[in-house]
Structure 1
Amino acid sequence: MAEIDYQRWTGTVADAADPLLALCTAVFGTFDPAYLRGRVPHIADADLWLAIDQGEWVGFKLGYRRGEGLLYSWLGGVDPRMRGQGVASELMRRQHDHAAAAGYRFVETSTRAANNPMILLNLRHGFHVAGFEIDARGIAVVIQRKELKLDRA
């Protein structure tokens, strides 16, 4: 297996929508394209990170500005074939480092309460539980938040 290349997307999120939809289907199994297409036009200051293996998108982390100093890490995942190799951690690290350098003070995310692997990954990367809610579809969601610190090392 080739070394994974990590890149920050420099185009518009709308330009990335089609390959993102294909990756979302691989990551989540079933994925409603309307969920992504409906939100993309309303994303402010998108921050999209990609993991690429031999030219193929195998992981992503998509966040956007939500208020002053807050990056909302909205959607992300890793192709099941690439899991367990640190791809999600590296995408998260890069997203957070870039956000801190861009002046964000916090990153926040919401995760389905049943998604223990994502909740644990967030906790390992400095998040704390900031809230809990039941969403519009009746699904329990854990809200996690992390204070960003620019690494001066």
Structure 2
Amino acid sequence: MPQIHHYWGMPDKHVLHGILQLHNEVFDNADELLEKAVKRQKILFVAATKENRLIGYKIGYELSADRYYSWYGAVQEDYRGQGIGSMLMDFQHRIVKEAGYKEIETKTRNMWRNMLILNIKHGFDITETFYDNEGIHRISLMKSLIDNKEVT
């Protein structure tokens, strides 16, 4: 069973290195992530580790006093399908709710179907679809942290 840790602000160098390494494997833009992360308000890193090795993460930041944004998340390929993403999401939502946020928002793409399905299973509703400035079709989702409607 993995251990879940959270960090308000930037995590220690060992954890950050693992996050950036995994992020680069999945999204190929770790430099951009780091550059943007240091500028985000009330950034939260949630990390899953097993045997002192990072196996997954979720990152989010404050949009307003009531709304939080779930930004990026990934799980090591050999640990996928084991519920790690759900554990990270549940943990992130609990911490954000305890911090007083009432809603959590995220965006994804059709190409990340497992993430889309996970979001819906955890109570997110699709609020809009749109094409971004690069012509990529995106899906916006929102979840109330007040009524906590989750499907198992």
Match of 1:77 in 2: 74
Hey, what's the Cα distance between the residues in 2 that align with 1:14 and 1:7?
11
Quote the Cα distance in structure 1 between the aligned partners of 2:102 and 2:122. Answer: 15
Which of 114, 122, 132 lines up with 2:129 in the alignment? Answer: 132
Residues 104 and 148, structure 1, Cα contact 8 Å, conserved in 2:
yes
Q: CA deviation at 1:67?
A: 1.2
Question: Per the alignment, do residues 150 and 127 of structure 1 end up closer, same or farther by CA in structure 2, a change over 3 Å counting?
Answer: closer
Q: Give the superposed CA RMSD.
A: 1.9
**Quick check: 1:49 aligned with 2:46?**
yes
Does 1:20 find its partner at 2:19? yes
Number of matched pairs: 147
Whole-angstrom distance in 1 between the partners of 2:75 and 2:48: 8
Identity %: 28
Shift of residue 110, structure 1, vs aligned partner: 0.4
Structure 1, unmatched stretches of 5+, are none
Name the CA distance, whole Å, in 2 between partners of 1:139 and 1:5: 35
Residue 48 of structure 1 aligns to a residue whose secondary structure is strand
Alignment correspondent of 1:7: 5
Which residue does 1:110 correspond to in 2? 107
- Aligned partners of 2:10 and 2:38 also within 8 Å: no
Q: Quick one: distance in 2 between partners of 1:13 and 1:42?
A: 14
Q: Give the gaps of 5 or more residues in structure 2.
A: none
Query: TM-score under structure 2 normalisation?
Result: 0.88
Q: Deviations over 1:2-48 (max 9, x none)?
A: x211111255258554332111133x1x5123321221121110111
Q: Classify the secondary structure of the residue corresponding to 1:85.
A: coil
- Number of the residue aligned with 1:87: 84
User: How far, CA to CA, are the matches of 2:82 and 2:114 in structure 1?
Assistant: 14
C-alpha displacement of 1:149: 2.6
